[in-house]
Structure formats: structure tokens, C-alpha cells
């Protein structure tokens, strides 16, 4: 697994398109939100800024890169060759996804730390960490499911748009308007409960036990995504 992960990390830094979409673009967008945090905080709160930057990295830095990576490795038959080795399927996927996941987590930590330094620390760091891990897991699961519908790296630019833009739209909706109205709908949408969890973790004012219940919808999306990935993911080029 580690050998696969190291090889994949090298490929990420050699591929300029992946490097821009997974590292540079999310960092630039997040930097803009942090630079203009006072203006954006008037729309929602500091928790809203934390949530929208987290989902920017999650959608474009992690999810889209997962789909593109798996589609590319399938198209050039790399997945098929790996599967002919002694490595189990789980180790192959873990090795391919470990580098991009690690990079996304580092980005989120750096960005949220910068926000805390510039604008003020979160009320509950552990709760914020739980929200980040739950979101990363959900985006990986959705990436695996979407990769099953994606024919090529070029096709990934189309297949990833609905979820990428959708989770950011949901995060903005929940972050700006809260969950006082349409509570169930907002929490059940992908990214809705995770956004509310980030709001509670950063802004405070909500009991930890109540906030932890918000992990359930996100975990449910992970289960759904993994079930879809199990049915749709293919190891050989799609026809």
C-alpha cells in the first residue's frame, strides 16, 4: 500500500492539472475567504467561513481529484495491473487515495489554523476535528461512487460538477440561513449536517452531545456512497 501511495504522490506533483485543482485553486479560494473574513462573517459567521473553506478543499481538492485519479488509473490499465498483484483491492484503493487524502487534511488544518489566528479560535477544537474527519470520509465515499460513472479523466470534469457545486451550495445555504427553518431538509442534504456541526464547533453555544448527533446524517451518506461504489465501481476501462 505504501509503495502505491508513494508512486501516486509523485504522479500528483508531476501532473500540473491535478496540482492546480487539488492544491492551488482551493488554497487561493480559501485564502480569499480568510482575507475577507470580516465581510463574509456579516453574511453568516466565522463558522460559516470555516465550513465553506473546508468544503472548497473537500469538493475540489479531494473529491474531484479522487474521481480524476481513479478514472485515469483505470483508463491506462494501471488498476488492472495492480489487481493482478498480490495486493488486495482495499490496499490498492487505500494506496491510491492516501496521498490526496493526506494533502487535503493538511490543507484544511493549515487553512483553519490561519483563520483561527486571523479571526479568533474555535469554541471546540475536538468537535471541529470530528466535523473535518466526517466530511473527508464522506467526500472520499462520494468520490468512489462517482468514479464508477466516470469513463475518463476528461469525463470527470463533468461528472464531478453536480456534487462539487452541490455541497458548496448546501454549505453556503446552511451557513448563511442556519437551520431554524427547513431543519430536516438541510441536515439530510449532503454537507448540511457537517456544516451545522462546524458552525456549532466554531461559534459555540450548543451542547456537545446535541452537536454530535449531527454526525449521523454524514455517516449515512458515507454508507450510501460506499454501497453505490461497491455496485458501480469498475477496475477495467468502461465501454
Cell of 102: 493526506
pLDDT in tens, 21-34: 767 777 787 777 77
Angle ∠(190,192,198) on CA atoms, nearest 5: 125
pLDDT-derived band at 39 (thresholds 50, 70, 90) equals low
pLDDT of residue 83: 83
CA distance 140 to 113: 23
- The predicted model scores a pTM of 0.90
Quick one: which H or E segment has residue 90? helix 89-119
pLDDT tens per residue across span 196-224: 999 999 988 787 888 888 889 988 988 98
Of residues 44 and 69, more confidently modeled: 69
* pLDDT for 50 beyond 70: yes
Which residue's entry shows cell 472548497? 56
Furthest-apart CA atoms within the chain: distance in Å: 55
Backbone angles phi, psi at 66, to 5 degrees: -60, -50
Task: Express as a percent the part of the chain with pLDDT over 70.
Answer: 93
Nearest to 81 by CA among 239, 235, 232: 235
Question: pLDDT band for position 133 (50/70/90)?
Answer: very high
129 burial via Cβ count (<10 Å: 0-12, 13-18, 19+): middle
Element (H, E) at 204: none
Distance between CA atoms of 235 and 77, rounded to whole angstroms?
Answer: 8
Amino acid at each position: 500500500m505504501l509503495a502505491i501511495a508513494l508512486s501516486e504522490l509523485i504522479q500528483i506533483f508531476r501532473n500540473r492539472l491535478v496540482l492546480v485543482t487539488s492544491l492551488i485553486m482551493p488554497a487561493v479560494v480559501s485564502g480569499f475567504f480568510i482575507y475577507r473574513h470580516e465581510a463574509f462573517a456579516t453574511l453568516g459567521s466565522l463558522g460559516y467561513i470555516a465550513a465553506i473553506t473546508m468544503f472548497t478543499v473537500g469538493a475540489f481538492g479531494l473529491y474531484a481529484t479522487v474521481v480524476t485519479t481513479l478514472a485515469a488509473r483505470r483508463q491506462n490499465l494501471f488498476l488492472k495491473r495492480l489487481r493482478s498483484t498480490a495486493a488486495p483491492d482495499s490496499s490498492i484503493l487505500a494506496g491510491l487515495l492516501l496521498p490526496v487524502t493526506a494533502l487535503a487534511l493538511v490543507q484544511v488544518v493549515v487553512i483553519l489554523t490561519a483563520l483561527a489566528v486571523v479571526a479568533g479560535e474555535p469554541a471546540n477544537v475536538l468537535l471541529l476535528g470530528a466535523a473535518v474527519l466526517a466530511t473527508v470520509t464522506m467526500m472520499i465515499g462520494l468520490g468512489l461512487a462517482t468514479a464508477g460513472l466516470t469513463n475518463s479523466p476528461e469525463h470527470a470534469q463533468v461528472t464531478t460538477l453536480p456534487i462539487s457545486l452541490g455541497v458548496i451550495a448546501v454549505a453556503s445555504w446552511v451557513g448563511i440561513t442556519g437551520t431554524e427553518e427547513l431543519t430536516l431538509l438541510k441536515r439530510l442534504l449532503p454537507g448540511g449536517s457537517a456544516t451545522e456541526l462546524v458552525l456549532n464547533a466554531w461559534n459555540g453555544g450548543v451542547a456537545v452531545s446535541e452537536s454530535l448527533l449531527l454526525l449521523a446524517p454524514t455517516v449515512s451518506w458515507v454508507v450510501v456512497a460506499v454501497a453505490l461504489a461497491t455496485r458501480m465501481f469498475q477496475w477495467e476501462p468502461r465501454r
